[in-house]
């Protein structure tokens, strides 16, 4: 695979300069015209106000610079030249305010805090007039036939990955990225890649490694766009088996940041905020989360939004996007909802022998030396997968069928017999769903009840089934909040676990009529 490096031929700029976005119509862009230094203004705010009020008038010949803005998902961004690339800088951020102050300084003005606030209010209040809608991406952006990656390094390098190969774009990309203040840099890919070096650094078996590589490449290649589906990664294992090291390595290859691994927030608003400013979020030492939080994580997998009242208002609504991949690391079994289990991939770390132990510092130092080659190898694999994706027929489609398709194309790219990776993924899901069912009191009781049946079928009313289940569990279980207290409650809770039970060979059907009936059939 040929790696093309396009050198930056643009002249080096002294300080930030505001530019017009390429290939965007003049009328669609910001109408904030800034006078040249030879024609100083008494007040920057009055200049801005005048342009906003007279935005359709012809610009005067003295206007040499223009402030350009776009908006995406309710936020306003300044378009700033960074070495030939355009970067989207959040207007009301430290970096955005710094740019506005520097611009005012070049005009011979020094804005006070009050004047700067007035200017921001003026800009935000007229957002519809001067800032067109445009997609702004965090780390990964969709392009024709592939993706563009923002490395986040001092040179603002971008990498294009398509079926034709891996290309360093150098300068001149028109894709808009926003740089979070906490973003760290991905490595510049090596000339020759080898992602299999990663296997020597992770304490997992060969099959888990194949699935993990599939998850890494799929996650990198999935931009946060409408219709993008993410698979959450669950890292499970005993203490001292390298779970945290694995998570740190994953973040360094997909979306490194100054934050790294963090504690699981208790509020969905905090998760939404974290996912907005990252491509992948990693939560450590997860023990338990509620059924409601499970539902929110399901929503994050396929994309959704949460809304609440906007602060300091009575009628305005604040909407937060909930979309992105999560890495959930923990010792305990915490996926108890079958619906979430179907959207997760579980990787289990092995028990580590004493002679195999290394300090995390030693491990990460070794990883850093191999990171450019590993990263390049992953990008090459993504490129090879793109070649096979259009013609793929999935043999074992699962709930997250996009990931199943990716694994099927990965089999082709690596010359693996068809269905191998897909079969391992299906078994992984089945085992995870069984674990989830056994964490669910009703699910565990039905698994045991079905195993003890003298035949392959049972038929009765919901009340009769509840009575038999009550006999098979402890009194403390029947008194718990998770246990159905009536036949009606039983019928409702069966709906939530029927699909997961079916994957374990326990099929439940319910009929309605004068006499409701529950039929249980078991595959032996």
Domain ranges of the chain: 3-130, 198-434, 440-522
Into which CATH architecture does domain 440-522 fall?
Orthogonal Bundle (1.10)
What are the C-alpha distances in Å from 121 to residues 95, 115, 116, 467?
17, 10, 9, 65
The torsion angle over the Cα atoms of residues 484, 488, 493 and 499, rounded to 10 degrees, is 140
**What is the model's pLDDT at position 73?**
78
Whose CA is closest to 52, among 1, 122, 103, 107? 122
Query: CA-CA distance, 189 to 367, in Å (whole number)?
Result: 14
**What is the model's pLDDT at position 455?**
78
**What is the model's pLDDT at position 384?**
97
Q: Which residues have C-beta within 8 Å of that of residue 6, sequence separation ≥ 6?
A: 167, 168, 169, 170, 171
Q: What is the pLDDT of residues 288-343, one digit of tens each?
A: 888 889 899 999 999 888 876 554 445 556 778 899 999 999 888 788 788 888 99
Low-confidence ranges of the chain (pLDDT < 70): 1-66, 83, 127-130, 171-172, 308-317, 354-356
Query: CA-CA distance, 200 to 162, in Å (whole number)?
Result: 28
CA of residue 238 relative to chain centroid, distance:
26
Query: CA-CA distance, 263 to 326, in Å (whole number)?
Result: 12
383 and 162 Cβ atoms separated by less than 8 Å: yes
Q: Torsions phi, psi of 202, nearest 5?
A: -115, 140
**What is the model's pLDDT at position 285?**
86
**What is the model's pLDDT at position 302?**
92
Report how far apart the first and last C-alpha atoms of the chain are (Å, whole number).
Answer: 50
State the angle between helix axes of 420-439 and 487-503 in degrees (0 to 180), rounded to the nearest 10.
150
218 and 398 Cβ atoms separated by less than 8 Å: no
CA of residue 111 relative to chain centroid, distance:
39
**What is the model's pLDDT at position 95?**
85
Q: Torsions phi, psi of 155, nearest 5?
A: -90, 5
Token digits of residue 193: 């890649």
Q: Is 198-434 a CATH 1.10.357 domain?
A: no
**What is the model's pLDDT at position 44?**
35
Three-state secondary structure readout of 66-81: EECEEEECCEEEEEEE
Q: What is the pLDDT of residues 28-82, one digit of tens each?
A: 233 223 333 333 333 333 333 333 333 333 322 222 245 778 888 778 888 887 7
Is the Cα torsion angle 438, 440, 445, 447 positive or negative in sign? negative
Q: Which residues have C-beta within 8 Å of that of residue 214, sequence separation ≥ 6?
A: 403, 406, 407, 410, 421, 425
Q: Where are the alpha helices (DSSP H) in 415-481?
A: 420-439, 441-451, 462-472, 475-479
């Amino acid at each position: 695979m040929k790696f093309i490096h396009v050198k930056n031929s643009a002249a080096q700029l002294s300080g930030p300069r505001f530019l017009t976005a390429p290939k965007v119509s003049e009328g669609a862009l910001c109408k904030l015209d800034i006078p040249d230094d030879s024609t100083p203004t008494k007040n920057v705010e009055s200049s801005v106000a005048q342009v906003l009020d007279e935005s359709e008038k012809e610009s005067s010949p003295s206007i040499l610079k223009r402030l350009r803005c776009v908006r995406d998902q309710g936020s306003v961004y300044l378009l700033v030249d960074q070495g030939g690339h355009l970067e989207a800088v959040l207007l009301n951020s430290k970096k955005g305010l710094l740019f506005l102050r520097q611009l005012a300084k070049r005009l011979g003005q020094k804005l006070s805090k009050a004047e700067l606030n007035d200017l921001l209010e003026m800009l935000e209040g007229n957002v519809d007039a001067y800032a067109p809608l445009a997609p702004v991406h965090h780390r990964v952006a969709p392009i024709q036939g592939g993706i563009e990656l923002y490395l986040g390094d001092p040179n603002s390098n971008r990498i294009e990955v398509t079926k034709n190969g891996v290309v360093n774009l150098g300068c001149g990309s028109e894709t808009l990225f926003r740089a979070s203040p906490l973003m760290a840099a991905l490595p510049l890919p090596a000339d020759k890649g080898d992602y299999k070096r990663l296997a020597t650094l992770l304490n997992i078996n060969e099959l888990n490694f194949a699935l993990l590589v599939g998850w890494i490449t799929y996650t990198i290649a999935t931009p946060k766009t409408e219709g993008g589906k993410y698979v959450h990664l669950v890292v499970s294992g005993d203490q001292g088996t390298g779970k945290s090291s694995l998570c740190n390595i994953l973040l360094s290859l997909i979306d490194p940041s100054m934050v790294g691994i963090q504690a699981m927030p208790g509020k969905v608003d905090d998760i939404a905020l974290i996912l907005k400013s990252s491509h992948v979020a990693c939560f450590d030492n997860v023990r338990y989360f509620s059924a409601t939080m499970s539902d929110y994580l399901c929503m994050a997998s396929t994309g959704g939004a949460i809304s609440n009242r906007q602060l300091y208002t009575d009628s305005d609504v604040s909407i937060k996007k909930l979309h992105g991949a999560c890495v959930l690391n923990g010792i305990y079994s915490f996926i108890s909802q079958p619906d979430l289990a179907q959207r997760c991939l579980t990787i289990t770390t092995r028990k580590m022998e004493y002679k195999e132990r290394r300090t995390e510092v030693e491990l990460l130092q070794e990883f850093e030396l191999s990171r450019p080659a590993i990263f390049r190898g992953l990008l090459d694999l993504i490129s090879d997968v793109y070649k096979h994706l259009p013609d793929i027929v999935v043999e074992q489609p699962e709930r997250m069928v996009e990931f199943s398709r990716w694994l099927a194309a990965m089999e082709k790219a690596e010359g693996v017999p068809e269905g191998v990776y897909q079969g391992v993924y299906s078994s992984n899901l089945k085992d995870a769903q069984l674990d989830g069912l056994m964490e669910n009191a009703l699910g565990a009781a039905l698994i045991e009840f079905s195993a003890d049946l003298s035949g392959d079928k049972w038929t009765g009313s919901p009340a009769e089934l509840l009575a038999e289940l009550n006999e098979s569990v402890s009194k403390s279980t029947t008194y718990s909040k998770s246990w159905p207290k009536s036949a009606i409650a039983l019928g409702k809770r069966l709906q939530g676990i029927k699909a997961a039970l079916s994957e374990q060979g326990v099929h439940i059907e319910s009929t309605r009529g004068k006499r409701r009936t529950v039929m249980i059939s078991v595959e032996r």
